[in-house]
Structure 1
Amino acid sequence: MRTLFTLVLVFGFIGPVLVTAVYRFVPPPITYLMIERTVDGRGFDRRWRPLERISPALVRAVIAAEDAHFCDHHGFDFAAMERAMKNNERRPNKIRGGSTISQQTAKNVFLWPQRSYVRKGLEAYFTVLIEFLWGKPRIMEVYLNSIEWGPGVYGAEAAARRNFGVGADKLSQAQAARLAAILPSPLKWRAAAPGPYVKRRSGRIGAAAGTVRRDGLAACVLR
């Protein structure tokens, strides 16, 4: 019984805390999704860039597109979750997510992509850990360096190079809005050659990013 308790303590509590603490300073290595996509033959292109070498326009665009209250919540946006649940009840064929950037980061870095109650529970646990141990700037930095942005494309630098031929620090507001626009479906949509829907969506995100800038909604990241 003591051995079992020790194993649960190490692998269930101490281990995740230590790994999360290390990732506060060390770039997280390859993720489960990256391995899965690579095995499927989609290739692998990821180039880590510190937050100060990523365009502020991209930070504002992803906040506008994915989590407008990123700087206000502590990992969970319960109002957004409630709206998503109501939407999904009305339109079950068009599932809408209510996950914050913090939750997405926890899932991308530590967990697997398939939905399950176990994964959602672990996602909540790791979300609390990164909010407490990392803080908002580090969460955004890891998010922008880990998220999938196309077949075999991970992170802002690879996405900027692949789509626009520039570094992540050189992205314009329009380019940033296009990258943010394809995040819900990066294997289907293209930022460099967008269709009508992505064009409309990127236009809305660009306008919302202006609001993010004007109202200081990215102040916890961009100082």
Structure 2
Amino acid sequence: MQLYHHPFCPHSRFVRLLLAEYGIEPELVEVRVWERKPEFLALNPSGETPVMVEEHVPSAPGAAIIAEYLDETRGLALGDRRLLPHAPLERIEVRRLVQWFHEKMFLDVTEPLVRERIYKRYMKSDQGGGPPDATALRAARANIRYHLKYIGWLAKARNWLAGDRLSHADLAAAAHLSAADYLGDVPWDVDEDARAWYARVKSRPTFRGILADSIPGMPPSATYADLDF
């Protein structure tokens, strides 16, 4: 199995966490989507990460499609540790939250943070590179406070974000927060329940690969790999 990804693409991080929970170690192929390389566009014409390629299977583009494919092909083997609930009504809540983090939180927070502070470091001027947009960063840093409070509200009311068990929802939220946390842009003092929930997720052995990611010349924040932050 190969996973075409970028280390700080939150959707890619979500799939990496999923694969780790399934005990799968894919070959990671880093993609810089702004380069628009033809061989990657052949796998996913939208030019977005992640894309999963498995032998004798068509390429699976996008975090949601990959997550559903993994559940359909490997979910039952996890038994009571299945990451997507058996009950249809419980699945609705998990999928609702996954969509919230992958779409709402992504647009509000992680997309501008990652684009402005990481991607633009490597992009040429004709690809949109240049200095970070201070206005976009201010908006993202203001928006993340709202999302932290929502995560904290969910974590206080439930054992995990979508219910009694760890699910896709927890991994999606953690993937987005981890990208922002590397940059030091998560104000953890905003909500203690959100912080405690994230500490639980980050302490899982499956999170180790994410915490090993780094950017040359840009060290992670003090809280990034600290399990007792």
Instruction: Note whether the superposition's TM-score is higher than 0.5.
Output: no
TM-score between the two structures when normalised by the length of structure 1: 0.27
TM-score between the two structures when normalised by the length of structure 2: 0.27
